[in-house]
Amino acid sequence: MAYKRTPLMQERLADNRERIVGATRLLISRGGFREASIAAVAHEVGLSTGAIYRYFPSKAALFVELLTAAVDSEILVLRGITDRPLPAAVRLREAVESFASRALKGPHLAYAFIVEPTDPEVEAARILCRRRFGAVFEDLVRQGVRRGEFPAQAADVTAACIVGAFTEALVRPIATEGPSSQPADRKLVRAIAEFCQRAVGAAATAAPRRRA
């Protein structure tokens, strides 16, 4: 009853927090939001439903955190790609490919990001996340235009379209049954990347067939 919080416990708590988020991510990637009830999450982490509420004030808060965390790490990776001193077209292609191939591995999860959640609170977070994704590409497009690599265009719209484009293209295979074959996935990723390159108007630069 009179516990002192030892570092070990702190860690365990943090662990639980992450494990909860992880379990939620797993469940969503398996069966969408529908499958991620608090009971299911609790069962997955091996805690009680009540315990979940020790770490998150509500289901919505849990979802928001999951969303935010996923997007945070994703954006980190994307920025790592788009900040390098390379032609914008190359960076664009690589960013898209990078995002797409990761997304293909946890299909329903990527799905859930565009999907209408049950809760207005989560909805707000979702929109924010999309904005942040868009921002990465918007920056990139703006750079490309400034440098004359891409033609003049509404960078914000282009960015939104890019995000939408690859999400749609990625979501499609989810509906289709049959486990994704490796080569098919790679083909898809490449096609999406090429689409995006053309879409920003980076016509000439886009052709390096066999990039490492």
Partner DNA sequence: CATGAATGAGAATTCATTCAT
Partner DNA sequence: TATGAATGAATTCTCATTCAT
Residue 5 interacts, among its own copies, DNA, none and using kind-specific CB cut-offs from 5 to 8 Å, with DNA
Work out whether 191 is an interface residue with DNA (CB under 7 A): no
Work out whether 203 is an interface residue with DNA (CB under 7 A): no
Report the C-alpha gap between 33 and 168 in whole angstroms: 18
In the complex, least distance from residue 108 CB atom to DNA, rounded to whole angstroms = 16
Q: How many CB atoms neighbour CB 92 within 10 A?
A: 29
In the complex, least distance from residue 76 CB atom to its own copies, rounded to whole angstroms = 22
DSSP state of 180: P
Terminus-to-terminus CA distance in the chain, angstroms? 59
In the complex, least distance from residue 26 CB atom to DNA, rounded to whole angstroms = 15
Work out whether 51 is an interface residue with DNA (CB under 7 A): yes
Contact 144, 204 (CB under 8 A): no
Residue with tokens 């486990």: 179
Cβ proximity to DNA: between 42 and 103 the closer is 42
Q: Record the tokens describing residue 180, joined without a space.
A: 């994704």
Of 50, 85, 178, 179, which one interacts with DNA (CB under 7 A)? 50
Report the C-alpha gap between 136 and 159 in whole angstroms: 8
Question: How deeply is 7 buried, as exposed, middle or buried, from its count of CB atoms within 10 A (0-12, 13-18, 19+)?
Answer: exposed
Residue 60 interacts, among DNA, its own copies, none and using kind-specific CB cut-offs from 5 to 8 Å, with DNA
Residue 38 interacts, among DNA, its own copies, none and using kind-specific CB cut-offs from 5 to 8 Å, with DNA
Report the C-alpha gap between 82 and 94 in whole angstroms: 8
Residue 154 interacts, among DNA, its own copies, none and using kind-specific CB cut-offs from 5 to 8 Å, with its own copies
In the complex, least distance from residue 97 CB atom to its own copies, rounded to whole angstroms = 13
- Contact residues for DNA, defined by CB under 7 A: 2-6, 8-9, 12-13, 16, 34, 37-39, 46-51, 53-55, 57-60
